[in-house]
Amino acid sequence: MRNIKAKKEAAGFSIAELLIAMTIMLVVLSLAASLFSASFSKRNRESSRTDALTSAQAALNVISREIANSGYGLTGNGIVLGADSNNRKLHFLSNVKNTNGITTDPTENITYFYDSTTESILRYDANANGVNVGETSIIINRISQLDFLYFDYAGSVSTTPPPSLTPTANTARVRVTVTVSLENVRGQTDNQKVILSSDVTLRNSNYMLQQY
């Protein structure tokens, strides 16, 4: 009797018990994998958003700094009117070296525009390599859109009319907007965008000069 009892106590798990244990383990592993996947997707999304914000902000800082100097040492706000400047492109002049109103030095004849082929914001310096020898450089890539809006001021009146898609001789402020479309991440909402804007006051416009 003792031998029979010992054999029963030494018996292993039954098939039913093994199946139940395996099912529980599979459920636990499935939940863990789901949580890990969601966490990884969220990290990818936030990392992509952070990179986009950092790059777009850096590009805005560069563009804003140069646009603010538009018209320096010249008469007027420095924006080249006509087909050269609109809601997708801005061409402006400044006389950074202040050499008697001549704008033939590097960084004094600049055009910013968006290139859909490379998804980049490009900067064209008409005199980067000498008089009338221009150079195009990429400011930032992986950009979805670049927009310009123009605010005109009449004389010394500070009442701002609705913005325009094209500049005039009375333009005193430019709004630059950079749009970045984030990559789709599994488990997250598709087609998310990061939009950054900067209002740049043209410090050499007629309106601003009358404020001092």
CA atoms of 132 and 68, how far apart (whole Å):
23
Summarised one tens digit per residue, pLDDT across range 122-143 is 999 999 887 778 899 988 877 8
Longest dimension (CA), the chain: 117
DSSP for residue 5: H
Which residue has better confidence, 210 or 170?
170
Count of Cβ atoms closer than 10 Å to residue 61 Cβ: 10
> Contact at 8 Å (CB) between 96 and 69?
yes
24 pLDDT above the threshold of 70: yes
Does position 47 have pLDDT exceeding 70, yes or no? no
Tell me the average pLDDT across 156-167: 73
Q: What is the model's pTM?
A: 0.72
Q: How far apart are CA 137 and CA 8, in angstroms?
A: 82
Q: How far apart are the C-alpha atoms of 151 and 94, rounded to whole Å?
A: 19
Q: Look up residue 72 and give its DSSP letter.
A: T
